[in-house]
């Protein structure tokens, strides 16, 4: 039987409406407009596009967006100085530093200079450290992993006790999503480029999260019948038959895997729209917390 398609666009739309309503309420009842500052260093076109998408999504639901672009050659002190200013600005409730940073900058120190209570991306070393430890709670959870968990929950996956396999160990997705699955009491296996016999490890999974950045790597015979498959991949591949000469595919061979899985996210249209939605949610949470702070 073909898998249930987990519609990230529809889930994101519904959540953004709820977040927008709450933003309006916060404004009406408390006179607070949630504010998100984006910090972009350098001119990578993909990063510029992501930041623009985040800013637009904020404005659409009533969150104020403050955009900061620094030149590629900015020094560590300049970047940290800006972040410290933003951390002290009461109109700004969330700060997002777009990654990757230029290579001469120390990413850990930059992320560590974000005020903990404004770390809406969840990448501050203390928030990541808390996520990695039992019984500790980060103030914020990174947006893409958070979105993966929401999709699993909305699709009705039983996470507790499930065998979860995560393909990929990146700081942005693979590692934090593994921690979230562990917190939700799954039995978690993390695979990476040195893992042996990926297909047989993946076949054990009741929940499979693919976040490796390899187009259509996960094939139909890698997947256990009935599994929940979350495809985080977004890869541009050449396609002479497409109007633009390319198309976007995930890390999962969707057409094959949908015949085996119980539920699956498409890519595009699965995890992608959830990442920004969770950023909006984290920014709203930061603004709500500022009321009691
Ligand atoms: N670069 C790729 N993904 C992300 C993300 O979720 N947040 C930030 N800040 N940068 C990214």
Protein residue with its CA nearest to atom 1 in ligand 1: 99
Q: What is the pTM of this model?
A: 0.97
In percent, how much of the chain has pLDDT > 70? 100
User: Which pLDDT score is estimated for 18?
Assistant: 98
The atom of ligand 1 lying closest to the CA of 100 is 1
Per-residue pLDDT reduced to its tens digit, 111-120: 999 999 999 9
CA distances from 258 to 33, 178, 194, 226 (A): 42, 23, 27, 10
Per-residue pLDDT reduced to its tens digit, 133-166: 999 999 999 999 999 999 999 999 999 999 999 9
Neighbours of 242 (CB within 10 A): 11
Q: Do domains 31-115 and 143-272 have the same CATH topology?
A: yes
* Domain 143-272: homologous superfamily in CATH: NAD(P)-binding Rossmann-like Domain (3.40.50.720)
User: Which pLDDT score is estimated for 5?
Assistant: 98
Protein residue with its CA nearest to atom 4 in ligand 1: 99
Please tell me the distance between residue 122's alpha carbon and the centre of ligand 1 in angstroms.
10
User: Which residues does the annotation mark as catalytic?
Assistant: 54, 98, 121
Ligand 1 pocket test: which of 40, 83, 98, 146 has the largest number of ligand atoms within 8 Å of its C-beta?
A: 98
Cβ-count burial of 28 within 10 angstroms (0-12 exposed, 13-18 middle, 19+ buried)? Answer: exposed
Residue 1 reports pLDDT greater than 90: no
The atom of ligand 1 lying closest to the CA of 96 is 9
User: Which pLDDT score is estimated for 293?
Assistant: 67
Protein residue with its CA nearest to atom 2 in ligand 1: 99
Mean pLDDT of 19-41: 98
Instruction: Specify the CATH number for 31-115; select among 3.40.50.970, 3.40.50.10860, 3.40.190.10, 3.40.50.300.
Output: 3.40.50.10860
In percent, how much of the chain has pLDDT > 90? 99
Ligand 1 pocket test: which of 119, 121, 272 has the largest number of ligand atoms within 8 Å of its C-beta?
A: 121
Residue 74 reports pLDDT greater than 70: yes
Sequence ranges of the domains in the chain: 31-115, 143-272
CA distances from 280 to 77, 273, 277 (A): 28, 11, 5
Please tell me the distance between residue 282's alpha carbon and the centre of ligand 1 in angstroms.
14
CB of 176 within 8 A of CB of 141?
A: yes
Ligand 1 binding pocket (C-beta < 6 A) is 96-99, 121, 143-144, 172, 275
The atom of ligand 1 lying closest to the CA of 144 is 6
DSSP string, the chain: -PPEE--HHHHHHHHHHHHHHHHHHHHHHH----EEEEEEES--HHHHHHHHHHHHHHHHTT-EEEEEEE-TT--HHHHHHHHHHHHH-TT--EEEE-SSPPTTS-HHHHHHTS-GGG-TT--SHHHHHHHHSTT---SS--HHHHHHHHHHHHTT---TT-EEEEE---TTTHHHHHHHHHHTT-EEEEE-TT-S-HHHHHTT-SEEEE-S--TT-B-GGGS-TT-EEEE---EEEE-TTSTTSEEEE-SB-HHHHTTT-SEE--SSSSSHHHHHHHHHHHHHHHHHHHHH-
């Amino acid at each position: 039987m073909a898998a249930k398609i987990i519609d990230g666009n529809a889930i994101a739309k519904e959540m953004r409406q709820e977040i927008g309503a709450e933003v309006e309420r916060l404004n009406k009842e408390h006179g607070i407009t949630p504010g998100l500052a984006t910090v972009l260093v350098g001119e990578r076109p993909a990063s510029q596009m992501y930041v623009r998408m985040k800013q637009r999504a904020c404005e659409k639901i009533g969150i104020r967006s403050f955009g900061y672009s620094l030149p590629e050659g900015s020094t560590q002190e300049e970047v940290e100085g800006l972040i410290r200013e933003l951390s002290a600005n009461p109109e700004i409730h969330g700060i997002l530093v777009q990654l990757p940073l230029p290579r001469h900058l120390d990413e850990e120190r930059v992320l560590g200079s974000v005020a903990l209570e404004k770390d809406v991306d969840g990448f501050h070393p203390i928030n990541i450290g808390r996520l990695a430890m039992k019984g500790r709670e980060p103030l914020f959870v990174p947006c893409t992993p958070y979105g993966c968990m929401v999709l699993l929950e909305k699709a009705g996956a039983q996470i507790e006790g499930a065998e979860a396999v995560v393909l990929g160990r990146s700081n942005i997705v693979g590692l934090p999503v593994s921690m979230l699955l562990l917190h939700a009491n799954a039995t978690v296996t993390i695979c990476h480029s040195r893992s042996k016999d990926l297909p047989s490890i993946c076949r054990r999974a009741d929940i499979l999260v693919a976040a490796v950045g390899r187009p259509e790597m996960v094939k139909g015979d890698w997947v256990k019948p009935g599994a929940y498959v979350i495809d985080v991949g977004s890869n541009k591949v050449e396609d002479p038959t497409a109007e633009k000469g390319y198309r976007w595919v995930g890390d999962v061979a969707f057409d094959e895997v949908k015949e085996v899985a119980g539920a699956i996210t498409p890519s595009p249209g699965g995890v992608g729209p959830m990442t920004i939605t969770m950023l909006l949610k984290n920014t709203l949470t930061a603004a709500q917390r500022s009321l009691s702070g």
